[in-house]
Each structure stands twice: as C-alpha cells, then as structure tokens.
Amino acid sequence: MKKLGWIMSLILLVSLVLSACGQSKEAASSAVTTTVKIGILKNVTHAPGFIALQNNYFQDAFGKNAKIDVTAFDNGADFATAIATDQIDIGYVGPGPVINQYLKSKNIRVIAGANNGGAVLVARKDAGINSVKDLVGKTVAVAAKGGTPDLSLRLLLKQEGLKVSSDTSGVQIVTRAPADTLVAIRQKEVDATLIAEPWGTQIIQEGTGTILVDWNKIPPKDGNYPLTILVASDTFLKDHRDLAKKAVKANKQAIDFIGQNPNKAYEQISDELKQLTGKGMEPALIKAAIDHLKLTEDITLEDINEQAKTSFDAGYLKVKAEELDFSKFLDLSLLNEVKKEK
C-alpha cells in the first residue's frame, strides 16, 4: 500500500509539472509581440492615417499583442526607399514615388486608396497671371519632381498647349518644399505653384496669391485622382496578410469617421501633426484641406496607369514603355474582402 501511495504521489507530481509547463508555454505564446512599422508623411492630406492612429483604429484592429512603430517622412521618395527595404511595413504615400520604386524592386503593393485630389494652382497676385496660358515665361513651383502635383501640372500645361522649358519660351518648373514656397511667393522668387492643401489656402489667406485653378479642375479627372494611397511591402503581405487586411479596415474606419465627425477630426488631425512634427495646425486650415479633396478607399488600375504614363513622358521613369505594367502593383483583394464583410 505504501508503494502504491508513493507511485500515485509521483504521478500526481509529474502531472502538476507538465501542467505548469503547458501553462508557461501558453503564457509565453500569448505574450509574443508583433511590431507593425507604419510610415506616413507629415501632410494633412494623409488625414485618414492620422485619424487611424489618434483613435487607435490600427491598435484595436491589430490586437493587444501588436506593437505599432510610426515613422514620419518629409517626402515620398524616402518613404518608398524605406518600404522597399523593409524598414517599414505599411503606410501612406503619394503614388508617384512608389510607382517609381515598384519598377525598380517589384516588392510593394497598393492595397487601398485614402484620398483623391487636394492640390490647387495658385498664382502670385502681382505676377500678371490671369489664366494658365499666362504661365509662359513664368516660374512655377512644385514640392518634388515626379510627385503628384508635378505630374498634374504637366498634364494641365499639356491640355493648354504649353511646353515645359528651362527658359522663357515655356513654363519653368522648379522644386520647393511647401513651406519654402510660401516664402518664395512672398519674396517674388516664383510666380505660381501647384501645391497640396492646406498650403494653397495659406497663400490665399496671406493675401499674396489667388487660386488660378481650383482642386476640382486639376487633371487628371478634374481632381478625382489619387493623391494619397495605402501601400504594403510584399514581405508584410506574405507574413501578416491578416494584419494588412485589418489595416485596410482601419483606414476605411478613419475615412468614415472624418466624414461623420469633421470638427472633431480636425482637432485630432492637428494633434497627430503635433506628435509627428512638434507643431499642430489651425482647424480652419485643416478644414480647407479636407474640403479640397475626396476621401475614398477606392483606387483603380486606370488611376495608376495614367500617373505612370505622365511620369514616363516627363522622363522620370527610366524604363522601356512596354515595362509599364502595373497589373500586379495594385492588389485590391483585401479591400474587396473588407467591403464584402460590411
């Protein structure tokens, strides 16, 4: 009997040890943290991303075992390099830089839209510019070569039969950061600018410029072109497709929130800008930006192809014409799944 009792005690002890080990493994498993590296530009036109961060839509969607690491970029080119080299996983950017990067690395996918339009053509008040044709012999500033406003400007000039040149025979395009453009307009260093909001509104409010072409007349498609999109790296889509889908859902949630709660959204956008840049923005300026764009999660291959062709014609894409195939660049499978689950 003593021997039987000893055996029973040993079995009980082993069971307790095994049970404890199992619980330890389960606890360790639940504590595993996935870091999602989100990239975003410091522009109001990236508002859906700001709202998704401010309202914890990404965090709530990813779950408590996910850690979010946000990197703010000054320009799309740096963003595109970062996502192509897996420094970030997912984020918001303009189409131009990632179109260029995709042709080099083929490892980035567009998974949703964020907003369309949002840029205006502003002329300096005393520059003698009353129509687009008056831009001949003038200097027009854009934020970056190959950026969406640059491509839109080139399309607009082409529509009016004007050429881009380095002398007064055509329109001279120069690059200036938006903040520097405000100064350049004041100091009469440039005559006009095609610039994303709210910078255009700031120039108008200062009294130094007037709107020459409003946002809903800017090509292509009268302002209904993608200015900000949501993209993901191939690595992230392969390893964490579920999280990418949740990001698409959070993006749509943010777009809906802005439409339903505009005044609150303006404050939250300002708060996120302050976190990213150290400085917020007046709600009135944010409202001007949001009023001059179309928030949408939708995007089409036609949109991408049109911007790519303009970039190619401008000499920014160093490939052969037959290599301009973006059928795999756009992956709307996640967005379509999110829409079906409504």
Taking a C-beta distance cutoff of 8 angstroms, is the pair 127, 267 a contact?
no
Task: For residues 112 and 211, state if they share a domain.
Answer: no
Q: Is residue 40 part of a domain?
A: yes
Beta bridge partners of residue 122, listed in sequence order: 193, 211
Where a domain ends, among 170, 195, 223? 223
**184 and 93 in a common domain:** no
On whether residue 9 sits in a domain, the answer given is no
**Interval 300-327 mean pLDDT:** 91
CATH code of residue 146: 3.40.190.10
User: What is the model's pLDDT at position 17?
Assistant: 46
**Cα–Cα distance for residue pair 127/188, rounded to 1 Å:** 8
User: Which band of pLDDT confidence, cut at 50, 70 and 90, is reported for residue 147?
Assistant: confident
- For residue 339, what pLDDT is reported? 93
With the C-alpha atoms ordered 12, 14, 15, 19, is the resulting torsion angle positive or negative? positive
Q: Which amino acid is at 116?
A: N
Whether residue 21 is contained in a domain is answered as no
Contact 199, 223 (CB under 8 A): no
Q: Tell me, yes or no, whether 240 and 102 share the same domain.
A: yes
Q: What is the pTM of this model?
A: 0.87
If you average pLDDT over every residue of the chain, what do you get?
A: 91
What's the Cα-to-Cα distance from 237 to each of 24, 63, 94, 158, 294, rounded to whole Å? 31, 17, 20, 38, 27
> Which of 112, 305, 132, 102 lies closest to 221, judged by CA?
305
Residues 302 and 249 in one domain: yes
Kindly state whether residues 131 and 109 are assigned to the same domain: no
pLDDT value of residue 75: 87
In this predicted structure, the answer to whether residue 165 has a pLDDT above a threshold of 50 is yes
Indicate the residue among 169, 197, 223 that finishes a domain: 223
Residue 28 falls within a domain, yes or no? no
* Domain with 233 in it: 34-116+226-340
Distance, in Å, from the CA atom of 172 to the CA atom of 190, rounded to the nearest integer, reads 10
Same domain, 242 and 105: yes
DSSP string for residues in 276-322:
HHS----HHHHHHHHHTSEE-S---HHHHHHHHHHHHHTT-S-S-GG
Q: Are residues 255 and 321 in the same domain?
A: yes
pLDDT for residue 8 is more than 60 = no
Residues 79 and 127 in one domain: no
Residue 269 lies in a domain: yes
Assigned domain for 27 exists:
no
Residue 263 lies in a domain: yes
Query: Which pLDDT belongs to residue 321?
Result: 87
Q: Are residue 167 and residue 238 in the same domain, yes or no?
A: no
What is the count of structural domains for the chain?
A: 2
pLDDT at 22 over 90: no
Query: Both 111 and 235 in a single domain?
Result: yes
Domain boundary among 169, 190, 223: 223
Residues 179, 126 within the same domain: yes
**261 in a structural domain:** yes
84 and 209 housed in the same domain: no
What percentage of the chain reaches a pLDDT higher than 70?
90
What mean pLDDT is predicted for residues 126-155?
A: 95
How far is the C-alpha of 287 from the C-alpha of 279, rounded, in Å?
Answer: 17
| pLDDT above 70 (res 307) | yes
